[in-house]
A and B are shown apart, each in its own frame.
Chain A
Amino acid sequence: MAEGARDSLKPVAALRGESAASRAERGSFHLMVGLLSAVAIVLLVAPTLIVLLVSFTSGLSLRFPPPGWSLRWYQALVTDSPDLWRAAALSVKVAAMATAISTVLAVAAALALARQPRLWARLLDSAFMSPLMLPTLALGLGLLVWFNVFGTGVSMVTLVIGHTAITTPYILRTTCASLSQIDAVLLESAKSLGAGPLFAFRTVTLPLVLPGIAAGAFIAFMMSFDNVAISLFLSDARSEVLPIRLWNIIESNLDVRAAAVSGVLIAVTTVLVVLMERVVGVSRHVR
C-alpha cells in the first residue's frame, strides 16, 4: 500500500515538469551533502592511510612522502623493542581481565535492568552508564586518591579495577539493547511448552543476546587497550601499558618505531573489526 502510494506520487511531480529552478535547488542540496560527506570521509580515512605509508619509510624521520620504502622500522620492532613488547603484553593482559570482569558484572545487571521500566531501574541504568560521559582523568585521579587513602597503593589489581570501571558501560549498553529486542512471545511460548526458567534462559535468551554481549565485550576490550587517562594514575612504576609507552615515544623523540607500532595496531584493529562485523555485527551494536 505504502509502496504503491509512493510510486504514484512520483509521476505527478514528473508530469508537472521540473523547472530549472527546482532542479538547481535539488542539485545544490545534493552537492552540499556530497561535498561535506566527502570531507568527512577523507578526514576519517586519510590519517590512518598516511600513518600506514609513513611506517614503511626508509628514512629516519616522519617526512611525508617518505624518501624511500623499507621494512626497517618493522624489523626494529621485532629485533630491538623489548619495551614495546612488554607494554603490549601488559595491555592485552589488563584489557582481557577488565573485559572478563565487566562482562560478568554488566550482563548480570543487564538481565535485571533491560526490561524493567520502573524508575529505580532507569536511574541505576543511567548511573551505571555515567562513566562514558565523565572525564576519565577525574575518575583516574579519584581512584588514585581512593587507593592511597585505603593504603593499598597502585598495582596490577588497581589498574584492572580502573579499567573495569570504564569498560562496564559498553557491555551494559549492548546487552540491554539485545535483551530489549527479544520478542516476549518467544519466552512465553518456551514457558508454555514446558521449559523451566533455566532451560528457557539457556536455549532462548542466551543465544539471542550472545552477539550483543560479544560486541560489547569486543568494544570494551578495545577501549581498555587504548586507555591512557586511567592507566596514567593507576599503574606502578614498573608497569607501562602500550598506549602510554607509545605516547612517551611520540612525545620525547618522535621515533619512527611509533609509526611501525601504529601500523601493527591499525592492521590488527582492521582485521578484528572486519571479523567481528562478520560474526556478531559490531556496527549494529555501537549505535
Chain B
Amino acid sequence: MASSAEKIEENEPGDVSAVVVRFAGDSGDGMQLTGGQFTLSTALAGNDLATFPDFPAEIRAPQGTLFGVSAFQINFGSRTIRTAGDAPDVLVAMNPAALKTNVEDLPEGGMIIADSGAFTDRNLSKAGYEANPLEDGSLKKWQLLAIDMSEMTLEAVKPFGLGNKEALRSKNMWTLGLALWMFDRKRQPIIDWLTAKFAKKPEIAEANIAALNAGHAYGETAELGYAFQPRHVDRAPADPGLYRTVTGAEAISLGLVAGSKLANVPLFFGGYPITPASAILHHLSRLKQFGVTTFQAEDEIAAIGAAIGASYAGSLGVTSSSGPGIALKGEAMGLALVTELPLVIVNSQRGGPSTGLPTKTEQSDLYQAIYGRNGDAPMPVIAVRSPSDAFHCAIEACRIATQFMTPVMLLTDGYIANAAEPWLVPEVDSFKPFPVTFHEDAPGEGEKFNPYSRDGKLARPWVKPGTPGLMHRIGGIEKSSSTGNIDYSPSNHQEMTDIRVNKILGVADHIPAQDVALGEPGERLAVVGWGSTYGPIHQSVSRARDAGKSVAQIHIRHVWPLPKNLGELLKSYDRILVPEMNTGQLKTVLRDQYLVDARPLNKVSGQPFRIAEIEAAIEEQLDG
C-alpha cells in the first residue's frame, strides 16, 4: 500500500509506528487462521501490513513436537510496510515447542505471551526443556506474560456443552481476542466471519465468539502491567480508494480471470493438487460464472495437456504447479511452444530440488523457467513481486500468451502465494483490452492455408477447430515454415528455430522499459532483484539511501525476454548486487546477457531475506 509521497522507514530500533507479531503454535492450533483473522482486523483498522505464514508440510504433525510448529508473522504499522519484519516484537507461543523454535528470534526486551496451560511435563519434554522456562527464569531478558489460556478457554465455552477436545479448539480465538484488545482492534468483523463460517453449526460459532470475547475481556480486566498495555497503531497513509486484503494465490486467480476477459476468450484451467499452488485451482473452481472451466487432472502432465487442448480449441489454457510438477510439464511446454499455442503456466516456487521443502519459499526455478526444456525452447517469463502485483502480472501473462501465440511462465513463490497485503482494488476498465482475433478466412481457390504464416510480431494465426475451410494438422514434430507440413530439412529447422527465438525476443518490444524502483541510473551500486525479494530489497536500499549512500534498486518483472534497456542501465552502475533466494540464477543470466560483474547474495534457508541481511551486503559492496 505505497503512498507516493511519504517516506519509508521500517522497524528502526525504538520505532513505535510499526509492530511485528508472531503467532506460533502446534500445526493443529489454528495459528494460520488466527493470523489470517488478525490480518483482516488490522487491514480494516487502516494499518499497512505484510504477513509471513510459515507452516510445516505435515497437516497435523504429532502434537507438541518441534517440527510440528506452525507460525504466522504480521508486520503492521502507521506507515508503509514492505516486509513481514525481520524480527517479532511480540511472540505468542501456544506451547513449549512454539516457544523453543521461535524465542531466539525475539530481540531483548520483546514480549512473550505464552499459554501456561500447555506447558505440561509431557509437552516440555517433547520440546526438549528440562525445566519449565516460564518458571525457571530463563526468559528474563524478555517480558513474559504467562496465562493459562487453555483453562480460560474451557471456562469460557463451558455453557455450550462441548467436549474437552472440541472446546480447546476455540483456544486460538481466545488468543485472538487478547491480541485484538492489545492492539485496539474491533471484534465485530471476526464475529461476523465466525457466524458465517459456522452458519450450519451455530453452537460452534457461539463457542468461538465466547472464547474471543473472553480473551478480550481478560485483557481489559486483568492488570497486566505497563508492558502489556494496549497500544493504538494509527492508520497508515495510503492513496485514496477501495481496499481489501489479498493473497498472491487470490490475486493470480483474479488476474487470470481478468486476463481472459481482456482477451475475450474463455479461461480453461487444468491443475493437479500440489503445495503451494493448489490455492489457485481452488479459487478458480468457484468462478464458473466468469466463463471459467476448471479440470482437476490425473497428474501434472494431463493438467497441462488438457490446457493445451483447450487452447487449441479456442480457450485460453492455463496450468499451475510448483517446481516438481513444472518439471513433469516440461515436455508438454515444448509442445505448446512448437505448436505456438497460447498457454499460461504458473509456477508457485518452493524449496527444491525434488520434493524439497513443500511449504517453504525459494526462487530456485529461474533456470527451469528460462531454460528448462529440451531443444532451443524460448518462452517468456514474468516474475511476480508481491500479492497485489500478482494481479497485474497474471494479466500481462495472458496478454503476451494470446498476442504472441506462446506459452508464458508466470513465476510466483510460496511466500507470495500465502502472504496477504492490503490491495487498492484496481478499476478493471483501466486495463487496455487485447481481444483475440481468431483466423477464419478460408484460402481462395487453389491456395492452401499455412498454419505457420506470421503477423508483424511473428505470431501465427489462431484457428479454432470447427472453422470451415481451414482444416490443418499441427504437432510436436518440426513443420515447414511455408506449408505447415512435416519438414525435417536442415534449412527449415534452422529457419523455424530462428523464428521461435526471434519471436520471443521480439516480446521485448512490447513490454515496458526497465525502471529504477529507488534511486537513479548511474549511482555506485545497483541492487537487482526479481520476485518476492522486492520488499526486503526495497527496505534495505531505502535505509541505505537515507544514510546518504549511493544505491539504487532495480526489480525485474520481465525476466525473459529482458527489457531492452536493462543492459545499458546495469552498465551505468559501478557495482551490481543480486540478492536471490537461490544460489545465483539471475546473477548468471545477467552475466551471460550483458557481461557485467553481477555479484550474488544468496539465501536458501526456506525463509525470506531479512532487511538486515541485504543491508549488510550493501555495506560490503560499497566498502569493498
Is B truly associated with A? no
Q: Report B's interface with A, CB cutoff 8 A.
A: none
Q: Report A's interface with B, CB cutoff 8 A.
A: none
